[in-house]
Amino acid sequence: MRPLIRSACRLRARVRAMATLPAAAAFSPSSASAAARPPRLPLARLFLPSAPPAAARGARSLRTSAAAAAAAAVEVGGVKIAREDVVKEEDPTNNVPDPIYSKIGLQLHRSGNHPLGILKNTIYDYFDKNFSGKFNKFDDLCPLVSVKQNFDDVLVPADHVSRSYNDTYYVDAQTVLRCHTSAHQAELLRDGHTHFLVTGDVYRRDSIDSTHYPVFHQMEGFRVFSPDDWSDSGMDGTAYAAADLKKTLEGLARHLFGAVEMRWVDTYFPFTNPSFELEIYFQDDWLEVLGCGVTEQEILKSNGRTDHVAWAFGLGLERLSMVLFDIPDIRLFWSNDQRFTSQFSEGKLGVKFKPFSKFPPCYKDMSFWINEEFTENNLCEVVRGIAGDLVEEVKLIDNFTNKKGMTSHCYRIAYRSMERSLTDEEINDMQWNVREEVKNKLKVELR
Ligand code: FA5
Ligand code: MG
């Protein structure tokens, strides 16, 4: 919806022009139960893009392509976003590296032949069929949003861990790369929408493994009920909305998967109560595919819907696609390799992906004494900055504290290309660079 896109991006322009206020910090509802940490401004400085290391051929080519992508401005919803709008090397409140900027504007969910586009359209079909076209659809809203949109408007407390620099990409103290599509709820409500779906790329500093990637895609669903809707049901508004939400999402799961093992798990989000997650059994484990719940009254009240109730959900599109298409690794969604892209086409849901390469992973371990500032997300950002998509997993395999109170971590890094075999030399180069940057940027003592 054009006016909304414009207003989000105009807001961005405005906050850029304003004097920088003290930093707030990012959202990751899954870490909601973790102890709240204060924003850590200095960490942002650790992730300024640095000159490419001398060695590391693989790393060099990745950086070059990120830099090339970074050179041209991209367009989202008619708004141009240039590298300097997002990567600000001199701004201590900015922690966006080039590889993240290079993903903006790619909008994989808008390509009809991409698994994410196929999935989005299939979900659209379900809502069109069951709600006779009532849901308004948005898939081109600007991913640069204000801290207010991303956090305040959905009641994320000021000291919530999700606001930290460790979890969210900050463009400046008042602007973030949205870390969930819930960032658009309030504005769409204010614009008068009562049924809507918002699909978009979202950004999070996170761990590295086959189901986590720092850029992924979500679809937000939102439905408002008025008292007339539930008055004859014998339920109160909240119970009515919760029942309708579960019925709607179970119906969607059946529409997508047919029979599949799934379960509801109670959880917490600042913006819904009660809150739930849906998990699906995949590759011998339960995989969380969505979060949802009954919208907090305050959000409805603040946005012109007093006395109404609503439900909301946020689907992880990669996670659902992995189950539907048997895609084993989340990095594959970004592959331009014909052997990947040619396997998917419009309208063909559930075609099973045939792996085209089975190159073995190469494991490298590194141990170091951590310091107070150390976080795994910072480590992952360093590793990804060097190895790009050649890193498959970063896993803590040993952790102990000695008599002097020093804590040692040992991480196992798995390197693997989806497309080719890696040479020993390039893996060793990458690992050498990782060790150097971990030592220099994270200020830890290698063992
Ligand atoms: C949220 O982002 C909430 N905004 C969802 C929501 C919306 C709840 C409306 C209530 C009402 P969460 O952080 O759990 O919640 O993310 C939602 C989904 O995104 C997850 O279930 C998962 O499928 C997916 N997801 C989360 N982190 C990643 C990641 N790093 N890589 C890929 N998918 C992810
Ligand atoms: Mg979650």
For helices 237-257 and 115-130, angle between their N-to-C axes, nearest 10 degrees: 130
pLDDT tens per residue, range 275-327? 999 999 887 889 899 999 999 999 999 999 999 999 999 999 999 999 999 99
Q: How many residues does the chain have?
A: 447
Q: Which residue has the higher pLDDT, 43 or 374?
A: 374
pLDDT tens per residue, range 139-186? 999 999 999 999 999 999 999 999 999 999 999 999 999 999 999 999
Q: Examine the pLDDT at 53 and tell me if it is beyond 50.
A: no
User: Which atom of ligand 1 is found nearest the CA of 180?
Assistant: 2
pLDDT tens per residue, range 11-30? 232 222 222 222 222 333 34
Buried b (16+ CB within 10 A) or exposed e, 116-147: bbbbbebbbebbeeeeeeebbbbbbbbbbbbb
Q: Are 411 and 365 in contact (CB under 8 A)?
A: yes
Query: What pLDDT, on a 0 to 100 scale, did the predictor assign at position 11?
Result: 28
Ligand 1 mean position to 128 CA, how many Å? 23
Q: Examine the pLDDT at 31 and tell me if it is beyond 60.
A: no
- What gap in Å lies between CA 231 and CA 245, rounded to an integer? 17
Most confident of 11-20, 26-35, 341-350: 341-350
Residue 280 bridge partners (DSSP):
262, 287
Contacts of 152 (CB under 8 A, 6+ apart): none
Q: Is the CB of 380 under 6 A from ligand 1?
A: no
The pTM assigned to this predicted structure is 0.84
Ligand 2 mean position to 29 CA, how many Å? 6
Residue with CA nearest ligand 1 atom 24: 316
The confidence band for 357, taking pLDDT boundaries of 50, 70 and 90, is confident
- The ligand with the least distance to the CA atom of 33 is 2
Q: Which residue's structure tokens are 């150097």? A: 436
The confidence band for 411, taking pLDDT boundaries of 50, 70 and 90, is very high
Query: What pLDDT, on a 0 to 100 scale, did the predictor assign at position 71?
Result: 57
- The ligand with the least distance to the CA atom of 206 is 1
Cα dihedral: 305, 308, 309, 313 (round 10):
-30
Mean pLDDT computed over every residue of the chain:
85
Share of the chain above pLDDT 90, in %: 77
293 backbone φψ class: left, alpha, beta (φ>0; ψ -120 to 50): left
Ligand 1 mean position to 88 CA, how many Å? 27
Query: What pLDDT, on a 0 to 100 scale, did the predictor assign at position 260?
Result: 84
User: Which atom of ligand 1 is found nearest the CA of 185?
Assistant: 9
- The ligand with the least distance to the CA atom of 279 is 1
Q: Are 209 and 395 in contact (CB under 8 A)?
A: yes
User: Which atom of ligand 1 is found nearest the CA of 277?
Assistant: 21
- What gap in Å lies between CA 201 and CA 142, rounded to an integer? 9
Burial of 297 (0-12, 13-18, 19+ CB in 10 A): middle
Check residue 446 and report its DSSP letter: E
Q: Is the CB of 185 under 6 A from ligand 1?
A: no
Alpha-carbon distances of 254 from 286, 292, 351, rounded to whole Å: 17, 17, 16
Q: Examine the pLDDT at 225 and tell me if it is beyond 60.
A: yes
DSSP per position, 419-438: SSPPPHHHHHHHHHHHHHHH
